Each structure stands twice: as C-alpha cells, then as structure tokens.
Amino acid sequence: MAQVFEATCSAPVNIAVVKYWGKRDTSLILPTNSSLSVTLSQDQLHSKTTIRASESFTEDQLWLNGKQESISSNKRLVACLRETRALRANIESKDESLPKLAHLKIHICSENNFPTAAGLASSASGYACLVFTLATLFDLRLNASELSIIARQGSGSACRSLFGGFVAWEMGQNDDGSDSKAVQIAPETHWPELEAMICVVSDAKKGTSSTEGMQLTVKTSPLLQHRIKEVVPRRMEDMIQAIKDRNFPRFADLTMQDSNQFHAVCLDTYPPIFYMNDISRAIIRIITEYNKSGVKAAYTYDAGPNAVIYAPRENMPEIYALLSHYFPGAAFADSLGMLKEQKKDWTPADIQGFDTGISPIFSEASVKQILHTKAHDGPRVLGTEHSLLNAEGLPKRLA
C-alpha cells in the first residue's frame, strides 16, 4: 500500500491598520513600506487547507473552494511549493530516517468559510494556510517569521496571517527578501477587548485588482513617494506604541488616518483607482460623527468598499445599533453574543450630541451583512477529522 502523509490546518484573515500598497520587487513581493495588521478570529473567518502527499499521486493537484485550479499557471503558488519542498529535501538529506516527502506529488484542497462574493480578501488567509500546512506536512520546524517569508511570496499580506494578535510586516532592505518578514508586536491576549465589525457593502462595479492597482500607484502617484518615505515610518512607530499602550483613541486615529491616506494615494493614481463608494463614505460619516465626543471606533477600508470597524467591546452594542439604524437591511450574525447587551428602542439621538442628519437611511441592503469578530490567534493545526480529502485523495466537497 502506498504511504500517505497529510496535514490539515486553518489560518486567519488579517486587516491592516497601516496599509501595504506598492511593491519594490513584484516577483519576490517586497513592499515599498512596512505595514501592520490585526489578525481576526478564525472562529468567524478562516481558510482551511488539507495537503496530502502520496506515492500514488501522479501529479500535483489543487482544489479551491471545491473547484479544480491549475497549479503550474500560478507562479506564486509554484514559488511556495518550490521553497517548502527544497527545505524538506534539505532536511531529508541530513537525516536518513525521515520519510521521503519532498519528491512526492501532492493534492491540495482549500476552502474559505466566507463567500468570495463578500469581497473579503481571501488571498492572505489562503496563502498563510497553504504555507503553514506545507510546513506542518513537511515538518519544517520553522518559526512563524521564517514561514512568513515564504507566504509573502504567495501574497504579500499573507505573511501577516502567520501570527495572531498584532502583526508588523517589516519591509526589509535586502534584495533577496530575506529580511522582509512578519513579526508579532503583541499577542491577542495583550488587548482582549479589541473587537471588529465587518460591514459587507454592495457594489455595482468590480474594483481594480490590488496587484495591478498598487503598481499603477507606484508608477504614477507623486504622493505615494511621500507616504512611503515620510509618513509610514513614523506612523509604524506610533502605531506600535499605541498597541503596546492599549491606547484606543490613538490606535483609532492612526488607523483611520492610514486608511484615508491609502485611498488618497489610490485617487492620486493616474487614472485614479476608487475602492470606496457612497456607502463606504456614509459609514465614515457615521463613525466620524460617533467619535465627535471622544474616539470610540475606527474604520478602515482595504481594496474594496467593505468597512472594518475596530472598537473596544463595550462600544460594540452602540456601534451595531448605529449601523442597523442607517442600514436596516443588513443581516447580522450575532457570533460573539452581543445582541443580549443591546438596548431596546435605541436611536442615534440617544448618543449625546449625535447629529442624526448626517446621512440618509439606506433602506435597501446597501450593507448586505455585518460580521462581528475580534483579534485572535494565528494558524492552527487541525485533527484528521477535519481533512478535506477523501480516501482517494479527492475533495469531499466539490462545487
């Protein structure tokens, strides 16, 4: 009987509070500035990947959300496989007792528990999960920073999903990318009150891909150079300090300023790139008004119209009430058991000094869904009962 080796792992999504936008090397995925993110709980959002190596397999195969995809046409995936196999081959060459996995063909099956249609970036959790699962299968014994250097070559922001909590991606200086890696600033236990609410916003138009968009910005935006050289280095220091101090108002100011500036350099790109729409803007206005009497929430937007709102847990019932007032059509899954804390018959006018006229009520589902989650841990090794492959090495679920 053919020998079979398998690992199944899950990895989290991360949402940056100092944004990554621009590569100095597009093939190694080396960024033009450092960035910093919060890792969100896998209990709500994750990628899960099973990788099996078997002597019976005749070629490498990949299934993504139940659909077979080409491996060879995906250079970034090929790079992650090549790097991890080379490391495994090196270990095997030094220890004859180890099973020979490096030369075996593999089947990769990966799923996200959130719909791609939601517009949530799945490449970060996906590539973090791929590399973490390969490292587990191959027993590479690398630490998360070392793995992050490999995951980075799959998708830049994936490197930050190798850690839980608060994670910096240090841009590094070396041409070979050997110092462009993720490091943990603080674990999630450092600031357990910090939670996030994700607002999934409808959009008529598919946005520019971030891969294309960021290089157009590098090429055409005069303001990006100032952001890279002058703004981000200082902001990284300030953000790290705010996190260490658990200073939410400072963390929030920096988060919102950096989100704004990321979208500003997109707009300074030629032709301009827009990711936020009128609904995104309405959420910004609501949060800005909510913060008038003291900073209680922080919005941030990635390369799409969805808002992520960071806030201490105590403010979340009020923030949810605000959002459901302006976006009554939004579906809400009460994943953290928050609604029991919600006041009945609440209106925004109950917030001292809140100007309720700032935005219209969007009665249609312009915000489709609100997800409640929090800062949490890094990739997890799962038991064999979580395997996504059946006895034949094919996906249990096909799309």
Binding residues for a second copy, per CB under 8 A?
204-205, 222-223, 225-227, 230-231, 253, 256-257, 260-261, 263-265, 267-272, 274, 277-278, 281, 284-285, 288, 358-360
CB closer to a second copy, 142 vs 267: 267
Q: How far is the CB of 280 from a second copy (least distance, A)?
A: 10
Q: How far is the CB of 261 from a second copy (least distance, A)?
A: 5
Q: How far is the CB of 48 from a second copy (least distance, A)?
A: 35
CB closer to a second copy, 68 vs 202: 202
Q: How far is the CB of 360 from a second copy (least distance, A)?
A: 6
CB closer to a second copy, 173 vs 288: 288
Neighbours of 115 (CB within 10 A): 12
Q: How far is the CB of 357 from a second copy (least distance, A)?
A: 9
What is the side-by-side order of every strand in the sheet holding 46-54? Answer: 67-69, 61-64, 105-112, 46-54, 4-12, 380-382
Q: How far is the CB of 155 from a second copy (least distance, A)?
A: 26
CB closer to a second copy, 98 vs 231: 231
CB closer to a second copy, 260 vs 335: 260
Q: How far is the CB of 202 from a second copy (least distance, A)?
A: 12
CB closer to a second copy, 135 vs 201: 201
Q: Give CA 357 to chain center in angstroms.
A: 34
CB closer to a second copy, 54 vs 259: 259
Q: How far is the CB of 40 from a second copy (least distance, A)?
A: 24
CB closer to a second copy, 79 vs 223: 223
Question: Which tokens in the block code for residue 323?
Answer: 């959002």
Q: How far is the CB of 271 from a second copy (least distance, A)?
A: 4
CB closer to a second copy, 141 vs 206: 206
* Three-class DSSP labels, the chain: CCCEEEEEEEEECEEEEECCCCEEECCCCEECCCEEEEEECCCCCEEEEEEEEECCCCCCEEEECCEEECCCCCHHHHHHHHHHHHHHHHHHHHCCCCCCCCCCEEEEEEEECCCHHHCCCCHHHHHHHHHHHHHHHCCCCCCHHHHHHHHHCCCHHHHHHHCCCEEEEECCCCCCCCCCEEEEEECHHHCCCEEEEEEEECCCCCCCCHHHHHHHHHHHCHHHHHHHHHHHHHHHHHHHHHHHCCCHHHHHHHHHHHHHHHHHHHHCCCCCCCCCCHHHHHHHHHHHHHHHHCCCCEEEECCCCCEEEEEEHHHHHHHHHHHHHHCCCCEEECCCCCHHHCCCCCCHHHCCCCCHHHCCCCCCCCEEEEEEEEECCCCEEECHHHCCECCCCCECCCC
What's the angle, vertex CA 341, arms to CA 340 and CA 342, rounded to 5?
A: 90
CB closer to a second copy, 115 vs 272: 272
Q: How far is the CB of 203 from a second copy (least distance, A)?
A: 9
